[in-house]
Chains A and B, each alone.
Chain A
């Protein structure tokens, strides 16, 4: 059975990855997860300078999900290279740096600095909903997505993945722009904008008002977005959003994704990514399917 996923000129050993922002820099989960079994590890977003992140509280649980407003808290590219990459580069899985910024120059500079260091590829975070002057501003404009993807494309030969926001009228337009800009794949979807109000205190629970919704509540949103994007672009899709088990992952793969990312589910139970891989493998075997790509032929 062939579980590999091909992106650009590289492969990923299996379709189950862990989503950016939910897995730190990998070492946090070292004692809980058999990291070499992961297909891909998407790092916490890396920006040029360290970011402290947003005011607290940053998290609130919602029905079948959670709302977060972390604000891209991260150590910055310099410390990422010095302190986080040595561990990450020893892992056999595809380590993909999630790159964020508040200007085109910042994205370029982060990628430029990472180019000399061992990484499998990049995921451009054009869709974080929680930062002022944010990357979401890039992610909601097809023109800017294409322009930014294009300039980053010109400075790297590594696989380049663009993470799409669902907080737009038509996600396929943005996916098409990423493809036109030279992206090798898209990630579908980032968190959905949401708000929780404390009725007793009569104010929003998150100090910034809104946050990004994740968890099983958004599974059907992500699957629908993946279905639409898969019928619009030719490049592979990483399906993400609300996957809690193999069934959720298979929904994305059947909708047209080539691989998946597990995020919030890892918080609930760190054994879930591995169990999803086992579940996908068993499903393929039970249904006499030789490879993942065969899943894409069932749903028109």
Chain B
């Protein structure tokens, strides 16, 4: 990890309430891996003290460029959305661990909402390595779905809660309808709202699959010093730091009912 000044290449809306930020990353020696994140200094008002963590959604070493997808949620992301190309960003990264890919099982990727970013990066990264991931992306409705074809080296399955695009239902509804042999021998990778990831965890339990989830928590330092971004660990009284032991955990590590 290091702290560096990056230049904003572009910063624009890609779906209702969702933005994509492209920024320079000229140190390929410290390339971010899928699942890793950066923290950005907050701008716009002295009111905001804490940096904000954002997962990387794409990295292009040759172009020296990284991307992230963020949702307008509060003051910090509203201020970020107002920042323009050529302005400078204060970046610390890459931070945290990454999605593992050792088993050779078929990767089944599940992204929901703002969890789309790291899932896109992982899907493209796997596709580049010649793997054939099944990528299922969930949104509440069509207006929240960004243009995907230029961002994907794979063909994602779309799900919307209201059926306005793709499959009507949740990502887990979709997966549960698949023939069992499609799921068997797969390995789940999920990033999205906690209920979605908890449902992926139950699905993985039912089918005996490994399941990796990328967790979110409010962060203080982002580097493991403050013990603030803890999540409860299953079957124990202990906690794990999302910024350091995570953000990617085995879904069996997470005490889902205590979140």
Contacts and interface: CB of A to CB of B under 8 A. Distances in A.
A268 B51 contact: yes
Interface in B208-231: 217-231
A288 interface: no
A215 B92 contact: no
B217 A57 contact: yes
A66 B47 CA distance: 10
A269 B237 contact: no
A292 B121 CA distance: 52
A31 interface: yes
B85 interface: no
Provide the main secondary structure of the chain A interface.
loop
Contact of A270 (B3, B47, B49, B229): B3
B50 interface: yes
Interface residues of B, number: 35
Given A56-B230, A271-B3, A29 B225 contact: yes
A218 to B, nearest CB: 11
B174 interface: no
B10 to A, nearest CB: 25
Nearest to A57: B218
Contact of A216 (B49, B220, B258): B49
Nearest to A24: B225
A294 interface: no
A60 interface: yes
A53 B230 contact: yes
B256 interface: no
A64 B47 contact: yes
Interface of A: 21-24, 28-29, 31-32, 44, 52-53, 55-61, 63-66, 68, 70, 73-74, 215-216, 264-271
5 contacts: A57-B218, A61-B218, A70-B227, A268-B51, A270-B223
